[in-house]
């Protein structure tokens, strides 16, 4: 099993959640975060803004769904056809085990 | 070492804290988040939850929106996320404590626990590494 953590623009959240749900990946945890990326924030004149609001989605998925989920995020979190700086990143890590609290069962 | 990330109900934080303290794990990180779980397909469970939502909302008349959102699964619920870093031998104990403290009679929405491997932990103050830093 894999844990997908993706940082996206807050305005893309609802669209992405809807598309993920349609593709069968309904569960998600959503956290509002601030951060900066490789471009070192946004510069307006003298002022540099390096705490840019983003949205973090956490999804637990099966190994086999990896490419599907990545493709959906890449397609719908992108702004415009070309994409732009600040569209976000996807991080994927391995999960050893998942437990559902209500039933105590293991697995997603 | 293991990183145990648990998504739990908003109101269960104090009982979880107590349960962890009881097994001798005082340290953890917690934050508020929102989220949704797997789509519920069990008709009986849905009917039961529908009834309780209606009874909660009959006074202010806001039940229609809530119910549609609940049934088609678009509702996003507030929840809490706690992250516990544990030595391999403690992991099982912690998972059992979290499950014990968070289980309810509702049958759905009690949360999930994700267990991931953790490569390294370092205590900033003493620069201890590994299990000693937890």
Whether residues B134 and B84 share a domain: the answer is yes
B115–chain A Cβ distance below 8 A for any pair:
yes
Kindly tell me if the per-residue pLDDT of A49 is higher than 90: no
How many domains is chain B partitioned into structurally? 2
Query: How many contacts, defined by CB atoms under 8 Å, are there between A and B?
Result: 82
> Does the beta-carbon distance from A29 to B35 stay under 8 Å?
yes
Q: How far apart are CA B61 and CA B56, in angstroms?
A: 10
Say if pTM beats, i.e. exceeds, 0.90: no
Band of pLDDT at residue B64, cut at 50, 70 and 90: low
Whether residues B30 and B44 share a domain: the answer is no
Whether residues B84 and B127 share a domain: the answer is yes
B79–chain A Cβ distance below 8 A for any pair:
yes
Band of pLDDT at residue B37, cut at 50, 70 and 90: confident
Kindly tell me if the per-residue pLDDT of B59 is higher than 70: no
Whether residues B28 and B43 share a domain: the answer is no
Whether residues B87 and B53 share a domain: the answer is no
Show the domain range for B52. 38-75
Sign for the CA dihedral angle at B126, B131, B132, B134 comes to positive
Core vs surface per residue A66-87: b (16+ CB within 10 A) or e: eeebeebbeeebbeeeeeeebb
Phi/psi at A42 (5° precision): -110, 135
Q: How far apart are CA A104 and CA A16, in angstroms?
A: 30
A21–chain B Cβ distance below 8 A for any pair:
yes
Q: What's the average model confidence in pLDDT over B44-60?
A: 72
What tokens appear for B76 in the block? Answer: 């996003």
Boundary residue ending a domain (B24, B56, B75): B75
Whether residues B64 and B121 share a domain: the answer is no
Q: How far apart are CA B18 and CA A49, in angstroms?
A: 40
ipTM: 0.84
């Amino acid at each position: 099993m894999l844990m997908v953590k993706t940082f996206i623009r807050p305005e893309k959240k609802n669209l992405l959640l809807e598309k993920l749900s349609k593709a069968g990946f309904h569960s998600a945890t959503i956290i509002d975060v601030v951060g900066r990326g490789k471009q070192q924030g946004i510069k307006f004149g003298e002022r540099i803004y390096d705490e840019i609001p983003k949205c973090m989605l956490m999804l637990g998925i099966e190994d086999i769904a990896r490419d599907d989920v990545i493709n959906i995020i890449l397609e719908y979190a992108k702004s415009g056809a070309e994409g732009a700086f600040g569209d976000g990143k996807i991080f994927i890590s391995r999960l050893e085990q998942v437990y559902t609290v209500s039933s105590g069962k293991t697995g997603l | 070492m293991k990183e145990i990330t648990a998504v739990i109900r908003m109101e269960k934080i104090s009982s979880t804290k107590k349960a962890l303290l009881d097994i001798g794990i005082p340290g953890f990180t917690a934050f508020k988040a929102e989220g949704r779980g797997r789509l519920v397909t069990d008709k009986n469970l849905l009917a039961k939850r529908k009834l309780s939502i209606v009874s909660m909302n009959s006074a202010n008349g806001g039940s229609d929106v809530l119910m549609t959102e609940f049934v088609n699964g678009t509702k996003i619920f507030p929840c809490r996320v706690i992250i516990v870093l544990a030595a391999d031998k403690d992991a099982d104990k912690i998972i059992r404590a979290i499950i014990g403290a968070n289980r309810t009679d509702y049958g759905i929405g009690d949360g999930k626990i994700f267990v991931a491997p953790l490569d390294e932990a370092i205590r900033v103050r003493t620069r201890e590494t590994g299990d000693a830093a937890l």
